[in-house]
Amino acid sequence: MRRFTLIAVPYLWLLALFLVPFLIVLKISLSDYALSIPPYAPTLDFSAGWQGIKDLLSKLDFENYVFLTEDALYWKAYLSSLKIALISTVLTLLVGYPIAYGMARAAPEWRPTLLMLVILPFWTSFLIRVYAWMGILASEGVLYQFLSFLGIVDEPLKILSTNTAVYIGIVYTYLPFMILPIYAALEKMDDSLIEAAEDLGCSRMSAFWLITIPLSKSGIIAGCFLVFIPTIGEFVIPSLLGGSDTLMIGKVLWEEFFSNRDWPVASAVAIILLLILVIPIVLFQRNQQLQREAEG
Amino acid sequence: MRRFSWFNATSLTLGFAFLYLPMVILVIYSFNASKLVTVWAGFSTKWYGELLQNEDFLDAAWVTIRVAFFSSVLATVLGTMAATVLVRAGRFMGRGLFSGMIYAPLVMPEVITGLSLLLLFIGIGLDRGVFTIVLAHTTFAMCYVSVVVSSRLVSFDKSLEEAALDLGCTPFQAFRLVTLPIIAPAVISGWLLAFTLSLDDLVIASFTTGPSATTLPIKIFSAVRLGVSPEINALSTIMISVVTVGVITASILSKRSAVAQQRDEQAAAQATG
Amino acid sequence: MNQKVFAPWDDPNQKPLIQFQNVTKKFGTFTAIDDLSLDIYEREFFALLGPSGCGKTTMMRMLAGFETPTSGTIRLSGQDLGQTAPNKRAVNMMFQSYALFPHLSVWENIAFGLKRESKDKDAIAARVEEMLRLTRLGKFAKRKPHQISGGQRQRVALARSLAKSPKLLLLDEPLGALDKKLREETQFELMDIQEKTGTTFVIVTHDQEEAMTVASRVAVMDEGRLVQVATPADIYEAPNSVYVADFIGDVNIIEGNATPDGDRVRIDWAEGQPAIWGTAQKPVASGERISFAIRPEKVTISKEKPEDRRNLLEGEVIDIAYLGNISTFHVKVGNGQIIKAQSANTRRLANRDITWEDRVWLTFTETAGVLLEG
């Protein structure tokens, strides 16, 4: 009986507050926009019983999805989200790998402190960390003042409200997600492997490419997915740091819902976004699985 | 023998400068007397004073803390239950769906989670406010808690529980008296995580709240959308300080207990050797 | 000169392959190697033996190039190795952990060093095949390191380090991770491979039996110094110090005052006990404090008092360790000291007559033990 309660309570909670809402989104994405409250039709009429469900099903269609393919805004937003996510993942890897590598090579008594320093920003507000860059990147912001003090620039910067600012924001906020798995992979690597490679004729550089990089591959892959997946649906960074021409699907969905109040289209946008995310998520799961098997 | 090269030192220095400088700058500018970011007009704490007199912010902070408290407690209970189910309950109907529902919210974009919950609340005619935000936050935070707790449960030495059963405990007693105290650190960090996630959340709260309840992130977001504001700098500084002090205290405490444990073990080894 | 005995260290015309000349290595304030000089010759199987922390691993890492001496020089074929990087030395190392690259197959692991020399593909393939044959790994070429057994991994590590035909192969506790039975088999395999390839091997080990079995010469080390460098037989039969005698095999040490008498030495070791007679290897001063070391298997045990023996001790059997092929008797003699005596079990257990608490007689010849200082 206790076992039943133990399973049933979290199970029902998740059914009611995760699965059912998701099915509602799916249903509304197949409905039509209506100038009513709620702003879509048809609605489920429980009083009609089985007939009501049949009626409902017969009225659902893929009109919204067709609309998404016809309006260039949407597929451009999807493509642009993927592009931004991809570029910022690569940038994060380039910034994060040397840091993780440096941490793994630091003296053992320093590593817990370094690790804490990487994790600490996690606990501070995401919103504040993004906001911090607004003051720095603003046209006459801190960065401009610093650079003009050095005499490098003489006219206000044009970084804020561009995609560059979005990349900086993503690299900054998602950096720990990249560092941690790479560090974990590098840290447990046996030093004698590098010595063996050097003993067999490798220079330090080639030992790095032939041994260190391949052995941290699982960490690199995990880090990339951990950055790439959430970045696609990112909303806060493009809306604070991006400009009007920064097109990301999370922002489009938000505006579709709150500004245009077109719930069916917003729902369809969400469903397509999920379908796009399924591929990297499945690949990520596979990578984690392979890694566990290799370690077990 | 690890060789810590100049390259390593440089990349660590630059890396941590990149991670911390923006926040340091934010803190410095919160003491700027001028309203403009561009001009440093001397040291002043006036923005802190204005912040503390701003009723809206104080209300929002109170709402946020209440939401974070209730949702993190609920999420910890539900998440620990879910973790136990995942690791210990063995086979049952719909196990695949269950673990899917635990892991899916972790990768679900916040905009979709928020949208779907809002549509649910409208569908069943629930008045939106603190209560609906708590429900929403509990749902996604419990998944994080269950991941944290289940990773600890997986490495838990089952023979401890079996020893308790052998000594006459019921399974429930064994869990309460043996398992729970041992996994407590994981449960606590799960709770902390849930609390911070709730404090931090903008997107889901924006979808699931109503006119009656505005959380701090929503308030901050609407204030900074238009540009940098010195009051927000002051607020950010307070939030950063609280987190920094908290995390450093926690790490010192855990280090101390680790050192104490090590010392005890050494003393014990000497006593027996 | 006798060509059959391999003893280049006795031939003044031989040039050593490796020369340590007054090498000192310090880590901070800790001196790992203390002003050490040593010659190792071509085709030798040389063992560095000592407890952990004695500096043997540091010696090996200096040869491989992972550490450089604080002072002194190390020469390979007469040339100063100096600061030569590990990847530029004709020295290869087999690591204690094997350090097999987990992401590469057995074949790729063995080919790894060859590929660094930018040889052509066919030459590499031929050499890898040769190494696979030598170490009987042909069947496992395509497997990854985690898909083969510990013994096979050990052979991959050996093949990989031998593939480049180094002048010198270093083996760091090569058999440490194997169980006893496999270790014994592998020792002979190592000797066999060493002989076939003609490579000079330097092995580091803390296992004295292993060193005795495989090595042509053994260097016993303690606290960064060489205590004795000699063939296994000399180390065992003629240790130069109590430390070496005690470290290698089982030994009884009897301390006493020496009185020289011709080529014999009388040792008074306990009041009321008959003196012991030994043979001096070098002059001993009268009244010098001396240790007499004798191996248990050189002590004869009997129930009847033997006649005409100069070295004769009476005692009581305290303990018997039955090891199958031999038995070790712990005998308490007059002053309470325990002397160990071994006898081969040539008869079945039931036919043997010495048991616990028996009064017994211990004898040994005047040349059976060695006299050591201190």
> Who among C65, C92, C96 is closest to A200 (CB)?
C92
Q: Tell which residue, C71, C64, C132, has the closest CA to residue C96.
A: C64
Closest A-chain CA to C66: A195
What are C359-369's pLDDT values in tens digits? Answer: 999 999 888 88
> Who among B12, B97, B107 is closest to A102 (CB)?
B12
Domain-located, residue B232: no
A13·B78 Cβ contact <8 A: yes
Write the ipTM.
0.88
> Who among C87, C101, C103 is closest to A201 (CB)?
C87
**What is the predicted pLDDT for the residue at B124?**
86
- Residue C161 contacts A, CB cutoff 8 Å: yes
**What is the predicted pLDDT for the residue at A83?**
95
Alpha-carbon distance C56 to A109, whole Å? 27
> How much is the average pLDDT of B87-105?
87
Query: A70 vs chain B: nearest CA distance in angstroms?
Result: 22
Domain-located, residue B17: no
What are A190-216's pLDDT values in tens digits? Answer: 889 999 999 999 998 999 999 999 999
> How much is the average pLDDT of B145-151?
93
Domain-located, residue B83: yes
Task: Report whether B198 contacts B141 (CB < 8 A).
Answer: yes
CB atoms within 10 A of CB C303: 12
> Who among B85, B171, B232 is closest to A7 (CB)?
B85
pLDDT higher at B266 or C241: C241
C87·A211 Cβ contact <8 A: no
**What is the predicted pLDDT for the residue at B38?**
67
**What is the predicted pLDDT for the residue at C279?**
86
Task: Report whether C230 contacts C217 (CB < 8 A).
Answer: yes
**What is the predicted pLDDT for the residue at C303?**
86
Question: Hey, what long-range contacts does A12-15 have (CB within 8 A, 24 or more apart)?
Answer: A13/B78, A13/B138, A13/B139, A13/B142, A14/B82, A14/B98, A14/B101, A14/B102, A14/B139, A15/B101
Instruction: Return residues 20-79 of C near A (CB < 8 Å).
Output: 64-66
Alpha-carbon torsion (C93, C94, C97, C99), positive or negative? positive
Alpha-carbon distance C175 to C183, whole Å? 6
> How much is the average pLDDT of C257-272?
85
Contacts of C85 in chain A (CB under 8 A): 198, 203
Alpha-carbon distance C51 to C208, whole Å? 10
Buried b (16+ CB within 10 A) or exposed e, A30-49: bbebeeeeebbebeeeeeee
Contacts of A141 in chain B (CB under 8 A): 37-38, 228
**What is the predicted pLDDT for the residue at C1?**
42
Distances (CA, A) of A114 to A102, A183, B16, B104: 10, 11, 9, 31
> Who among A203, A214, A217 is closest to C87 (CB)?
A203
> How much is the average pLDDT of C3-23?
86
Alpha-carbon distance A33 to A56, whole Å? 15
Q: Tell which residue, B122, B234, B246, has the closest CA to residue B188.
A: B246
Asked if residue A16 has pLDDT above 90, the reply is: yes
> How much is the average pLDDT of A123-144?
89
> Who among B38, B89, B207 is closest to A141 (CB)?
B38
Instruction: Return residues 255-294 of A near C (CB < 8 Å).
Output: 294
Contacts of A185 in chain C (CB under 8 A): none
Closest A-chain CA to C162: A200
Contacts of C117 in chain A (CB under 8 A): 201
DSSP chain B: -----HHHHHHHHHHHHHHHHHHHHHHHHTTBSSSSSS----B--HHHHHHHH-HHHHHHHHHHHHHHHHHHHHHHHHHHHHHHHHHHS---TTHHHHHHHHHHHHHS-HHHHHHHHHHHHHHTTPPPSHHHHHHHHHHHHHHHHHHHHHHHHHTS-HHHHHHHHHTT--HHHHIIIIIHHHHHHHHHHHHHHHHHHHHH--HHHHHH--TT---HHHHHHHHHTTS--HHHHHHHHHHHHHHHHHHHHHHHHHHHHHHHHHHHHHHHHHHH-
Q: Which CATH class is domain C250-373?
A: mainly beta
Asked if residue C256 has pLDDT above 60, the reply is: yes
pLDDT band at C352 (very low <50, low <70, confident <90, very high): low
Q: Which CATH fold topology does C15-245 show?
A: Rossmann fold (3.40.50)
Q: Torsion angle of alpha carbons A44, A48, A54, A55, nearest 10°?
A: -70
A118·B85 Cβ contact <8 A: no
- Residue A156 contacts B, CB cutoff 8 Å: no
Alpha-carbon distance C260 to A193, whole Å? 58
Length of chain C: 374
- Residue A198 contacts C, CB cutoff 8 Å: yes
Degrees (nearest 5) of the Cα angle C357, C360, C363? 145
**What is the predicted pLDDT for the residue at C349?**
62
Q: Who contacts C196 (Cβ-Cβ below 8 Å, separation ≥6)? A: C134
Burial of A4 (0-12, 13-18, 19+ CB in 10 A): exposed
Chains touching chain B at 3 or more Cβ pairs under 8 angstroms? A
Tokens for B236, please give them.
């950010």
Tokens for A272, please give them.
């397509």
> Who among A22, A175, A236 is closest to B19 (CB)?
A175
Alpha-carbon distance C220 to C235, whole Å? 9
Instruction: Return residues 240-269 of A near B (CB < 8 Å).
Output: 240, 250, 253-254, 257, 263, 266-267
Asked if residue B253 has pLDDT above 70, the reply is: yes
CB atoms within 10 A of CB C314: 14
> A with C: how many residue pairs have Cβ under 8 Å apart?
60
CB atoms within 10 A of CB C124: 18
Structural domains in chain A, CATH included, are: 72-295 (1.10.3720.10)
**What is the predicted pLDDT for the residue at A80?**
94
Task: Report whether A263 contacts A60 (CB < 8 A).
Answer: no
| CB hemisphere CA count around C138 (13 angstroms) | 6
> Who among C86, C103, C164 is closest to A214 (CB)?
C103
- Residue C323 contacts A, CB cutoff 8 Å: no
Chains touching chain C at 3 or more Cβ pairs under 8 angstroms? A
Task: Report whether C201 contacts C187 (CB < 8 A).
Answer: no
Q: Phi-psi region for residue C237, left (φ > 0), alpha (ψ -120 to 50) or beta?
A: alpha
Q: In chain C, count H helices and then E strands.
A: 8, 20
Domain-located, residue B4: no
What are C55-111's pLDDT values in tens digits? Answer: 999 999 999 999 999 999 999 998 898 888 888 888 999 999 999 999 999 999 999
**What is the predicted pLDDT for the residue at A36?**
60
**What is the predicted pLDDT for the residue at C2?**
45
Domain-located, residue B143: yes
> Who among A24, A131, A254 is closest to B236 (CB)?
A131
A192·C96 Cβ contact <8 A: yes
Q: Tell me the H-state helices in chain A.
A: 2-14, 20-29, 49-59, 63-70, 72-105, 111-123, 126-137, 142-149, 163-187, 191-199, 204-207, 213-215, 217-232, 236-241, 249-258, 263-295
C85·A215 Cβ contact <8 A: no
What are B172-212's pLDDT values in tens digits? Answer: 888 888 888 889 989 999 999 999 999 999 999 999 998 88
B79 strand-pairing partners: none
Asked if residue B272 has pLDDT above 80, the reply is: no
A192·C97 Cβ contact <8 A: yes
B37·A14 Cβ contact <8 A: no
Alpha-carbon distance C352 to C360, whole Å? 14
- Residue A171 contacts C, CB cutoff 8 Å: no
Lowest mean pLDDT among B161-170, B253-262, C344-353: C344-353
Task: Report whether B107 contacts A232 (CB < 8 A).
Answer: no
- Residue A213 contacts C, CB cutoff 8 Å: no
A193·C146 Cβ contact <8 A: no
Domain-located, residue B102: yes
Domain-located, residue B253: no
| CB hemisphere CA count around C44 (13 angstroms) | 26
Alpha-carbon distance B193 to B200, whole Å? 10
B224·A134 Cβ contact <8 A: yes
Write the CATH number for B122.
1.10.3720.10
Tokens for A58, please give them.
């017969």
Task: Report whether B236 contacts B219 (CB < 8 A).
Answer: no
Please state the domain extents for chain C: 15-245, 250-373
- Residue A6 contacts B, CB cutoff 8 Å: yes
Closest C-chain CA to A211: C101
**What is the predicted pLDDT for the residue at B10?**
95
Do the first three CATH levels of C15-245 and C250-373 match, i.e. the same topology? no
pLDDT band at B1 (very low <50, low <70, confident <90, very high): very low
pLDDT higher at C355 or C204: C204
Structural domain of B110: 54-226
pLDDT cut 90: percent of chain A above it: 45
Task: Report whether C102 contacts C144 (CB < 8 A).
Answer: yes
Query: A212 vs chain B: nearest CA distance in angstroms?
Result: 13
Lowest mean pLDDT among A149-163, A193-207, B258-272, C35-49: B258-272
What are A51-67's pLDDT values in tens digits? Answer: 767 777 777 778 888 88
Closest C-chain CA to A205: C87
How far, rounded to the nearest angstrom, does the alpha carbon of residue C307 sit from its chain's CA centroid?
39
Chains touching chain A at 3 or more Cβ pairs under 8 angstroms? B, C
Query: B15 vs chain A: nearest CA distance in angstroms?
Result: 6
C23 strand-pairing partners: C36
Contacts of C65 in chain A (CB under 8 A): 198-199
Mean pLDDT of all residues in chain C? 89
- Mutation site for A-interface testing, chosen from C103, C118, C172 by largest number of A Cβ within 10 Å: C103
Length of chain B: 273
Domain count, chain B: 1
> How much is the average pLDDT of B254-258?
81
DSSP B131-157: HHHHHHHHHHHHHHHHHHHHHHHHTS-
pLDDT higher at A228 or B123: A228
